Chains A and B, each alone.
Chain A
Amino acid sequence: MPSLMTPPSTSRIQVRPAAEREGRKDYISIRDYGFWYGQKKALEGISLDIPERQVVAFIGPSGCGKSTLLRNLNRMNDLVDGIRHEGDITINGRSIYDPGLEVISLRRRVGMVFQKSNPFPKSIFENVVYALRVVGVRDRAQLEEACETSLRKAALWDEVKDRLDDSALGLSGGQMQRLCIARAIANRPEILLMDEPCSALDPIATGKIEELIHELKEQFTIVIVTHSMQQAARVSDRTAFFYLGKQIEYDTTEKIFMNPSQAQTEAYISGRFG
């Protein structure tokens, strides 16, 4: 298992040894975490562990802080002025706020797929290999191989293999979102963050993405934010429910949906509030 300190390399495209498939239980560990946008407290007292190579869903009503927490896992919120945090988040035992850890190398390990698909105005090929380009890969064969691997994993290869040089902006909405997934996994991150990846897609495209999540969890630890209870139930191993910036309940998905221990969780899941 490469640690967060090793410099990004592109030769990591390999099958992980079977012995590691168990993974650590506290791969991502969030401890007493609080977060402020300026004076506004967005998160408070969050503590949860995300096991390796599992899918964890964050659910909760709008404004509950689930996206904020997700965006802090790869420090995307650094772009916002006047932010502050307390507590700590560690990935594989190492704090993401470690001053010796560059945010760029963190993001190379923690890929992200956004709510609104956001392909670059470049060709499909260039979109997928962008993450390799930024680490300086020039070798055409290596780029092509990475492109094909990623597109296959994102279940998009058969649809676009004949038009890799066409603009990515000519794809359909569902294809664009799968392209964004292919782009996010092209440099083999360890974690994939998905911020409502299906909210703008039709049921068929959503189904494809969900199948994809099942396949991807063989290799990636996935954290997904979703507004759809059914989706959380279908794709995730564990589910965390947030309300007003607080973590209400975190347990296996089965437990959360069948037998929640908190009344608020049950009320939300059954649609009585939220």
Chain B
Amino acid sequence: MATPSDSSTPRGEAWVWFSGLGLIVGLGMVIGLLSLVFLNGATVFWAPPVPLAQLEDGRALIGQLAQRRIRAGSPADQPKYERQYQVGLRELNGNSYLWVDESRIKAETFPADILGLERVENGPAFVRPQSLRRSDGKVVAIAEPAFEAAFQAEVAAASAVREKLVEITRHRIGEVNAAMDRARVALRRAEDLKLADEIAARKAEIAVLDERYAVLQAEAAKVTAGGAVASLVARDAAGREVVVPLTQVIRAWFPNRLDTWGRVQLYASRLGEFIFDEPREANTEGGLMPAIFGTLVMTVFMSLLVTPFGVITAIYLREYAQQGPLLRIVRISVNNLAGVPSIVFGVFGLGFFVYVLGGSIDQLLFADQLKYNNNTPVFGTGGLLWCSLTLALMTLPVVIVATEEALAAVPRGMREASLATGASKWQTIRDILLPASAPGILTGVILAMARGAGEVAPLMLVGVVKLAPSLPFDGSFPFLHMDRKFMHLGFHVYDLGFQSPDSDAARPMVFATTLLLIVLVVCLNLGAIWIRNRLRARFKGASF
């Protein structure tokens, strides 16, 4: 006769297999997602050789292979493929990307003279250069041995000019414009209040600013006209002549001549631009610096706001509140907050934080600004502060639950020992319970950060924008501008994927941005885990 232990062992076996299967399915999905994002995202900046493809109908194209897929409607046993090439030269072709039936491609060659260009406008270009018109007017033909050196020198010189132009137009003229706006608001106020001295002072200030503006404009004009602009004369695959001014060129490379080291250098240069530069071309090119910065600052602020709120609430619930039915209802409500769709928090944030709180702040502190600046709100519109607060509210239940559990896990003996020495309840909480439960609290903060950093929907309502003119942090007082709108990686993914005018060009950037967002969240979490482990080490050997 089988004893209970005999019969339960094989039955338990089945459960082990079953639960193991669950784990494998879960892990498989995570690994699949991560590898899809990684493979697609990490290869975006790699520069492969670029073919010249001859088509059956006599046409030819030069382009970088972007995708290859089975043609819709082709038989499953004999699939027919089609290829998408990035041909660039949007101003000539109307579109940077071209789909071609694989069967229509007669031949593919890789001529060494194919040149890839990344340009300020109209996307990239793949061309066969003919000659270089240098800034001193001399023309260097492609056949001359001096061509490549001269070309790279001119590209470098042109990008120096372009950077100087950006410095003048964006930063220095931007500063003047900001000062001008402030002066105009002050002038309007002075005129309204009839302050003669003030009016005169402000008018003088505006005159000075006008003068500075004119000087900067002239400087900018001098930079652009400083010498004849070097330009490249090239032909596309169809033989049409293209003239590219080199100030338009951000990066130039010969894709079929590069050795592996050269490709790695190009990859590093593009990756550097992606991380440290600002976006161009409706966000489909350039870098993500503002979005990375915005995500980081917002997440850190959110954590700084949610931690004290959550910890204080949990201390009250666990240590001070009378345990009973009312408290149980409060606790259930708090836990249910975690299940509320995030967009609802966005709507609440917009209605309460932005309009009520922000509106009141504007009424109280920025009344002049509202009155004399066409009712332009300062805090009464979406911004970094409101985004952080909204997400802090959204992640509050996570921190509360984690803190409550951490407090409950502190051994009873430690609490009693403190009280028995004559410590008050608050001293016991501050000196014994909080330090001992700090690792558990940090676990809650880590979960909150992970959720907050990846959240998009509520942010769209309370302050994240497609393109922010300035970072929330800069050199002008008070340095950190909590009222400013900002860019966010999660929103950037949505914007690239679904709002971009050029969806083909945006596609690789979606993957790269997603990968970056994942890396950022992982880094934030690793930072928090590192802090937690240091705290744990302090309590090593404790009986919990």
Q: What residues make up the interface of A, taking CB atoms closer than 8 Å to B? A: 8, 74, 76, 79, 81, 104-105, 107-108, 111-112, 114, 116, 118-121, 130-131, 133-135, 167, 169-170, 180, 183-184, 186-187
Minimum distance in angstroms from A177 CB to a CB of chain B = 12
Residues of B near A134 (CB, < 8 A) are 421-424, 427, 431
Which chain A residue lies CB-closest to B413?
A118
Residue from A107, A121, A133 in contact with B420 in the complex, judged by beta carbons closer than 8 Å: A107
Verify A120–B413 contact, CB threshold 8 A.
no
Residues of B near A118 (CB, < 8 A) are 411, 413-414, 416-417
* Cross-chain pairs A/B with CB under 8 angstroms, 29 sampled: A8-B422, A76-B416, A79-B415, A81-B323, A104-B422, A105-B422, A111-B421, A112-B420, A114-B413, A118-B411, A118-B413, A118-B414, A118-B416, A119-B417, A120-B414, A120-B418, A131-B421, A131-B423, A134-B421, A134-B424, A167-B538, A167-B540, A169-B540, A170-B541, A180-B417, A183-B417, A183-B421, A184-B420, A187-B421
CA distance A135 to B422 in the complex (A): 8
Residue from B323, B419, B539 in contact with A169 in the complex, judged by beta carbons closer than 8 Å: B539
Is B436's CB within 8 Å of the partner chain A? yes
CA distance A76 to B419 in the complex (A): 8
Which chain A residue lies CB-closest to B544?
A121
CA distance A131 to B432 in the complex (A): 12
Residues of A near B421 (CB, < 8 A) are 107-108, 111, 130-131, 134, 183-184, 186-187
Most buried by B among A121, A167, A183, A186: A121
Is B245's CB within 8 Å of the partner chain A? no
Verify A120–B423 contact, CB threshold 8 A.
no
Minimum distance in angstroms from A151 CB to a CB of chain B = 15
Residues of B near A8 (CB, < 8 A) are 422
Is B2's CB within 8 Å of the partner chain A? no
Verify A76–B420 contact, CB threshold 8 A.
yes
Which chain B residue lies CB-closest to A121?
B539
Verify B419–A79 contact, CB threshold 8 A.
yes
Residue from A107, A111, A120, A167 in contact with B541 in the complex, judged by beta carbons closer than 8 Å: A167
Residues of A near B432 (CB, < 8 A) are 120
Q: How many A-B residue pairs have CB under 8 A?
A: 76
Those of B419-456 within 8 Å (CB) of chain A? 419-424, 427, 431-432, 435-436
Those of B506-531 within 8 Å (CB) of chain A? none
Residues of A near B422 (CB, < 8 A) are 8, 104-105, 107-108, 131, 134-135, 187
CA distance A170 to B537 in the complex (A): 12
CA distance A119 to B414 in the complex (A): 7
Is B149's CB within 8 Å of the partner chain A? no
Minimum distance in angstroms from A185 CB to a CB of chain B = 10
Residue from B323, B427, B435 in contact with A121 in the complex, judged by beta carbons closer than 8 Å: B435
CA distance A108 to B421 in the complex (A): 6
CA distance A131 to B420 in the complex (A): 9
CA distance A133 to B416 in the complex (A): 17
Verify A121–B417 contact, CB threshold 8 A.
no
New A-B pairs, 12, CB < 8 Å, besides A74-B420, A118-B416: A76-B420, A81-B323, A104-B422, A104-B423, A107-B419, A119-B417, A121-B542, A131-B422, A134-B423, A167-B538, A169-B539, A169-B542
Residues of B near A131 (CB, < 8 A) are 421-423
Which chain B residue lies CB-closest to A78?
B419
CA distance A7 to B431 in the complex (A): 22
CA distance A167 to B424 in the complex (A): 24
Residues of B near A112 (CB, < 8 A) are 416, 420
Most buried by B among A74, A104, A183, A184: A104
Which chain B residue lies CB-closest to A118?
B413
Residues of B near A135 (CB, < 8 A) are 422
Contact with A along B385-424 (1 / 0, CB 8 A): 0000000000000000000000000010111111111111
Verify B420–A111 contact, CB threshold 8 A.
yes
CA distance A74 to B415 in the complex (A): 15
CA distance A120 to B538 in the complex (A): 11
Minimum distance in angstroms from A197 CB to a CB of chain B = 13
CA distance A112 to B422 in the complex (A): 10
CA distance A121 to B421 in the complex (A): 16
Verify A114–B417 contact, CB threshold 8 A.
yes
Which chain A residue lies CB-closest to B435?
A121
Residues of B near A108 (CB, < 8 A) are 421-422
CA distance A118 to B415 in the complex (A): 9
Residues of A near B424 (CB, < 8 A) are 104, 134
